[in-house]
């Protein structure tokens, strides 16, 4: 009996002692990695770098940047495209109703996530955490991070500020990983451009490789964005010079697609025209149904379509243009088909070659044709009308080799913007083009010209860039958590 007694006591003690070792309560997270252990060599740095691209691309969880919202915001907020209301997703930007839990809130958050990822990786790279990487490799990664950071700041300016006015309130510049208690104030638009976007892009141009592979930034992407940034600032001389240096650089591997290949190769990863294309290879990296491809497709959410005015423009003036092939109709037989089966849906995000799943589609973000159009517009504005016509004609003729071209004497800003509309519809440009040029955004003025537009509140039928709803309110969550942030006027 005594024996048992001792056995028990021994067991009691041994269990206490055995489990009592200090480390027993230290557990490692199985599906996560501690931040300090993430980057240790070049390969791990590249994994962290891909995280930044992933955030730019988005997912079914992060839909509010280039996964969908950033693209359709630039379209349905304008005058030539509209939300159909079929799934209700694009309505907020179209109706300009920014209250509630719409994308208006999260278009702020995701770009700052991109910035945060970039800043963390820059810090790690500068601290030499990527053991064994050459200086060139390190700089190439830092350059991509700075390019991503510049893009995110630029997009924030486009959405939340009057980006055409250097003195207007911009967005906070964030250049390093910050603590949770960080409460920055808004920088001015000019500060964001001059202190962050331009230096970051200049660094990127100087340090990035000519190609980092399909789906990644290159030196040429940075040049394309810099040209666009100058254009948005109204610095036409710089915009023209940057655009031309990109177009004319002998080392530039990018070129316009031919007329024949334009429609088929538009969002192909092999298209030489894409300065930056988001590569979606399958269900592991697609953005699922909330993504732009499914939103645009009549067999998907059928949520976004071109307006009757753009439809008529194509019918009247571009009926033989290859770009018209990037519009498709709902193929449902009979009158039940959306818009009676007219070709009003954007097919720029068509399924990749050999892919039947309409959600698996590459998303071109920056194309060389835009650079030509930047060159044309900036040249026109600086008075170099011959260059403007030359640049514009490249785009006109590529669309239709038999089309009427423009000359230095016939060219006009309206003509350039019309060509932009036809070339870049559905890619998130139109609204910003109108704002940049201080033009009115007219969806309709009466029931006669309402076209297919849904019934809108009167303020949303026609407005200009001075209307307070032309830019989004800073999300209420940011206002609530950051006392230093000033709200946009009117909200």
- 382 to 441, contacts with another protein by CB under 8 A? none
Q: Scan residues 58-77 and list those touching another protein (CB under 8 A).
A: 59
> Of the two residues 215 and 428, which places its CB atom closer to another protein in the complex?
215
Q: Scan residues 457-486 and list those touching another protein (CB under 8 A).
A: 475, 477-478, 480-482, 485
Applying CB under 8 A, does 446 fall inside the site for another protein? no
The single residue among 175, 259, 264, 281 that binds another protein, judged by CB under 8 A, is 281
Q: Is the dihedral of CA 294, 299, 301, 307 positive or negative?
A: positive
> Of the two residues 38 and 168, which places its CB atom closer to another protein in the complex?
38
Tokens for 71?
């693209």
How many chain residues are in contact with another protein, going by CB under 8 A?
91
Q: Scan residues 182-201 and list those touching another protein (CB under 8 A).
A: 182-184
The single residue among 16, 127, 135, 251 that binds another protein, judged by CB under 8 A, is 16
Rounded CA separation 115/420 (Å): 29
Minimum CB separation of residue 330 from another protein in Å reads 9
Q: Scan residues 287-326 and list those touching another protein (CB under 8 A).
A: 294, 299-302
- Nearest Cα neighbor of 391 from 412, 370, 373 is 373
The single residue among 167, 178, 414, 438 that binds another protein, judged by CB under 8 A, is 178
Q: Scan residues 77-136 and list those touching another protein (CB under 8 A).
A: 85-87, 100-101, 108-109, 112-113, 115-117, 120
Query: Long-range pairs for 97-104 at CB < 8 Å and ≥24 separation?
Result: 97/457, 98/469, 98/472, 98/473, 98/491, 103/63, 103/64, 103/69, 103/73, 104/472, 104/473, 104/475
Phi–psi pair at 22, nearest 5 degrees:
-55, -35
Q: Scan residues 361-380 and list those touching another protein (CB under 8 A).
A: none
Phi–psi pair at 200, nearest 5 degrees:
-65, -45
Rounded CA separation 422/131 (Å): 49
Tokens for 457?
């509140």
CB atoms within 10 A of CB 232: 22
Applying CB under 8 A, does 443 fall inside the site for another protein? no
Q: Which stretch binds another protein (CB under 8 A): 19-27, 139-147, 190-198, 380-388?
A: 19-27
Q: Rounded to whole angstroms, what are the CA distances from 162 to 64, 168, 464, 471, 489?
A: 20, 6, 12, 7, 11
The single residue among 210, 211, 357, 464 that binds another protein, judged by CB under 8 A, is 357
Tokens for 143?
């350059």
Calculate the CA 7 to chain-centre distance.
Answer: 70
The single residue among 3, 127, 128, 284 that binds another protein, judged by CB under 8 A, is 284
> Of the two residues 143 and 379, which places its CB atom closer to another protein in the complex?
143
The single residue among 31, 402, 409, 458 that binds another protein, judged by CB under 8 A, is 31
């Amino acid at each position: 009996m005594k024996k048992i007694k001792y056995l028990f006591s021994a067991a009691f003690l041994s269990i206490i002692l055995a489990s009592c070792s200090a480390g027993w309560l230290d557990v490692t997270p199985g599906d996560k990695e501690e931040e300090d252990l993430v980057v240790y060599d070049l390969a791990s740095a590249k994994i962290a770098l891909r995280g930044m691209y992933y955030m730019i691309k988005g997912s079914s969880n992060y839909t509010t940047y280039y996964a969908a919202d950033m693209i359709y915001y630039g379209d349905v907020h304008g005058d030539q495209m509209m939300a159909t209301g079929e799934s209700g997703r694009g309505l907020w930007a179209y109706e300009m109703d920014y209250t509630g839990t719409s994308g208006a809130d999260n278009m702020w958050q995701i770009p700052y996530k991109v910035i945060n990822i970039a800043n963390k990786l820059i810090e790690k790279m500068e601290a030499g955490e990527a053991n064994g990487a050459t200086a060139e490799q390190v700089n190439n990664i830092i350059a991509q991070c700075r390019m991503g950071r510049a893009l995110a700041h630029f997009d924030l300016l486009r959405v939340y500020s009057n980006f055409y006015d250097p003195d207007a309130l911009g967005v906070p510049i964030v250049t390093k990983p910050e603590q949770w208690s960080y409460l920055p104030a808004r920088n001015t638009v000019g500060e964001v451009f001059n202190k962050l976007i331009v230096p970051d892009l200049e660094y990127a141009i100087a340090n990035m490789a000519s190609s980092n592979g399909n789906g990644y930034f290159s030196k040429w992407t940075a040049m394309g964005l810099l040209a666009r940034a100058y254009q948005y600032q109204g610095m036409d001389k710089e915009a023209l010079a940057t655009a031309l240096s990109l177009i004319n650089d002998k080392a530039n591997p990018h070129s316009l697609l031919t007329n024949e290949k334009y429609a088929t190769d538009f969002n192909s990863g092999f298209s030489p025209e894409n300065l930056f294309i988001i590569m979606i290879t399958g269900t592991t990296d697609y953005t699922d149904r909330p993504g732009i491809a499914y939103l645009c497709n009549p067999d998907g959410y059928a949520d976004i379509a071109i307006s009757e005015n753009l439809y008529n423009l194509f019918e009247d003036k571009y009926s033989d243009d290859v770009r018209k092939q990037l519009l498709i109709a709902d193929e449902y037989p009979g009158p039940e088909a959306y818009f009676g089966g007219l070709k009003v849906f954007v097919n720029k995000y068509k399924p990749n070659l050999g892919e039947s799943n309409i959600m698996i589609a590459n998303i071109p973000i920056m194309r060389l044709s835009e650079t030509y159009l930047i060159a044309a517009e900036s040249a026109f504005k600086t008075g170099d009308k011959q260059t403007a016509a030359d640049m514009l004609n490249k785009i006109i003729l590529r669309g239709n080799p038999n089309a009427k071209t423009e000359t230095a004497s016939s060219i006009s800003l309206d003509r350039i913007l019309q060509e932009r509309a036809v070339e870049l519809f559905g890619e998130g440009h139109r609204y910003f083009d109108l704002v940049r040029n201080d033009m009115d955004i007219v969806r309709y003025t009466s029931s006669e010209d309402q076209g297919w537009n849904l019934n809108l509140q009167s303020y949303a039928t026609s407005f200009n860039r001075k209307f307070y709803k032309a830019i989004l309110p800073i999300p209420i969550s940011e206002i609530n958590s950051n006392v230093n942030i000033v709200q946009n006027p009117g909200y």
